[in-house]
């Protein structure tokens, strides 16, 4: 055989080997080409899956907001606190301006002083020395007092009876932000419960001053029960609450009074340490002066009983209290 023939046979075998490999190579190329072209749609754009993959493996999308540092949070909190303080100062200034204007309308040269916050805990005052009855302490009868022990420069306004129902009285007390406690007798208020309902709706406490304003020590225990507990029932129906404070007419009482009052829900018997009328005061103490925690009495009365109106009596009260450096607080916030 010729060497050339041998060479041709080798070449022929190599050609057959190459032909066998060619389809495999083409298939591999086609597969690779398919992966590449499959990543794009007919318009040449990357397919959603490719774009999603690029988003994960390629350039990132919009950067996520970096978490705020502690310093930045502190700055924001300080800014918010400053804005609240500014708003509060503005509110206080507006209220002060309104109070000054109201004081002028009601004939006061000075606006009433603002009472301090009430105590966190109420303390029931003890019975004033000399005002006790037999069994007062042993039977835990309601204490009788004329002053509330406190270091706050405050006094308490209480208004009795309910005969005069001048709308100016309610308007004056509301506009001047003067808290007070009402002690009502039914025979005087039954013609217009609604007048005192308006006061109650403004935060005024409605308390018991008996049905008919009778001198209680002259009555039997049964008669006293009718006067005191009967008024509790009426006040509960008319004003939604049976009061815990009771004031006997004229400030007069005996042991039966306190026993009866306790039996129908009375917790304390506040009297008064000073009384105010249009243009004048009457004081209980020898120094003829006001003291921190004093309870002050006036009445829902007018020209039929006084030489003046109810607002006249309130002006007398507020001028003196303010000049002496006292604010008016709410009795029920302390006892």
pLDDT at 68: 74
Give the Cβ contact number of residue 220 at 10 Å.
9
- How far is CA 276 from its chain centroid? 31
For 294, the 3-state DSSP assignment is strand
pLDDT at 162: 96
H or E element at residue 157? strand 154-161
pLDDT at 69: 81
Least trusted range by pLDDT, from 21-25, 144-148, 232-236, 254-258:
21-25
pLDDT surpassing 90 at residue 283: yes
Which segments of 207-309 does DSSP mark as H helices, in order?
Answer: 221-239, 255-263
pLDDT surpassing 60 at residue 10: no
pLDDT at 204: 97
Q: Looking at per-residue confidence, does 73 or 38 come out higher?
A: 73
Gap between the Cα atoms of 82 and 87, Å rounded: 9
User: To the nearest 5 percent, what fractions of the chain are helix, strand and coil?
Assistant: 45, 15, 40
pLDDT at 122: 93
Yes or no: say if 319 and 327 are a contact pair by the CB < 8 Å rule: no
For residue 107, what are the CA distances in angstroms to 82, 102, 180, 298?
Answer: 38, 9, 20, 19
- Burial of 205 (C-beta count, 10 Å sphere; 0-12/13-18/19+): buried
Mean pLDDT on 222-230: 98
pLDDT tens digits, 130-165: 999 999 999 999 999 999 999 999 999 999 999 999
pLDDT at 64: 55
pLDDT at 65: 59
Yes or no: say if 327 and 114 are a contact pair by the CB < 8 Å rule: yes
pLDDT surpassing 50 at residue 216: yes
pLDDT surpassing 70 at residue 186: yes
pLDDT surpassing 50 at residue 19: no
Question: Beta strands 295-299 and 154-161: pairing type?
Answer: parallel
């Amino acid at each position: 055989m010729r060497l050339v023939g041998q060479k041709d046979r080798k070449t022929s075998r190599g050609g057959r080997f190459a032909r066998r490999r060619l389809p495999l190579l083409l298939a591999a190329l086609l597969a690779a080409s398919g992966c590449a072209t499959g990543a794009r749609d007919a318009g040449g754009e990357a397919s959603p899956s490719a774009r999603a993959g690029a988003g994960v493996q390629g350039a990132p999308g919009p950067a996520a907001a970096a978490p705020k540092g502690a310093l930045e949070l502190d700055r924001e909190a300080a800014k918010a606190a400053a804005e609240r303080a500014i708003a509060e100062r503005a509110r206080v200034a507006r209220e002060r301006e309104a109070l000054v204007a109201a004081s002028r309308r009601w004939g006061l040269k000075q606006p009433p002083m603002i009472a301090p916050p009430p105590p966190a805990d109420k303390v029931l005052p003890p019975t004033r020395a000399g005002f006790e009855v037999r069994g007062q302490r042993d039977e835990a009868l309601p204490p009788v007092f004329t002053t509330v022990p406190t270091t706050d420069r405050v006094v308490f306004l209480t208004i009795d009876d309910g005969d005069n129902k001048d709308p100016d009285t309610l308007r004056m007390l509301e506009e001047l932000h003067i808290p007070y406690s009402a002690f009502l007798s039914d025979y005087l208020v039954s013609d217009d419960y609604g007048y005192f309902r308006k006061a109650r709706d403004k935060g005024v406490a409605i308390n018991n001053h008996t049905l008919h304003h009778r001198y209680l020590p002259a009555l039997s225990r049964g008669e006293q029960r009718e006067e005191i507990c009967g008024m509790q029932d009426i006040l509960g129906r008319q004003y939604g609450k049976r009061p815990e404070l009771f004031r006997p007419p004229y400030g007069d009482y005996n042991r039966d009074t306190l026993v009866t009052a306790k039996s129908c829900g009375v917790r304390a018997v506040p009297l008064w340490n000073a009384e105010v009328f249009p243009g004048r005061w009457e004081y209980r103490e020898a120094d003829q002066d006001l003291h921190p925690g004093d309870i002050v009495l006036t009445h829902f009365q007018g020209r039929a009983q006084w030489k003046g109106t109810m607002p006249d009596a309130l002006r007398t009260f507020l001028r003196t209290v303010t000049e002496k450096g006292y604010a008016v607080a709410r009795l029920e916030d302390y006892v």
